[in-house]
Structure 1
Amino acid sequence: MNTLSVGEIATMELQENGSTGYIWDVKITNPNVVSLIYEGSIFERKFLDDSALVGAPYNVQWVFEAQQPGETVVIFSLRRPWESVHPIQTFAINIAVE
């Protein structure tokens, strides 16, 4: 269990490769407890030239803010959003806000 205080910020960063179609899907089981306040891609300096970016993996960062006391689970699933098959990778983070 990961514990946060109300108003505290937590970040998560994972690698994905959108050119393969696989991207991270994020679900918060109780969005009253923790909310997603930012999601963005992070590219290495060598990928700032668009020609080097094609087909290259990159990191995605999510920033969450603890809203109110309670418990929630943040579930990350690596999947192709248009397919109705199970994700190729899934994991969850348990969060308690005090």
Structure 2
Amino acid sequence: MPIEGVDKMQLFPCPFCGPREESEFHYGGEAGNLRPDGDVTAERWAGYLHMRDNPKGPTREIWVHMTCGEFFAMSRDSVNHKVSGSSALGEAEHGA
């Protein structure tokens, strides 16, 4: 039974399966956070692993759809959670 005043679960646009409930997805990190070469300093490696931006507003992120197992990029606003598009990694973005 729906709870009064509570919206339905947010739908995320999987570029492989179409819109699905957010509970089927797992956050994979910031898009564009490239892994450094193996011969970097411990400080640089720690920065890659632990230091993240925390943007307020539009952001591009990596997500995985647990149902199909595919990773993809999604653009969303971290303030209002509105999704503006998604794409397979390495492809042009599709609007939400």
> TM over 0.5, yes or no?
no
Which structure has more strand as a fraction of its residues?
1
> Taking CA–CA contacts closer than 8 Å with sequence separation of 6 or more, which of the two structures ends up with the larger relative contact order?
1
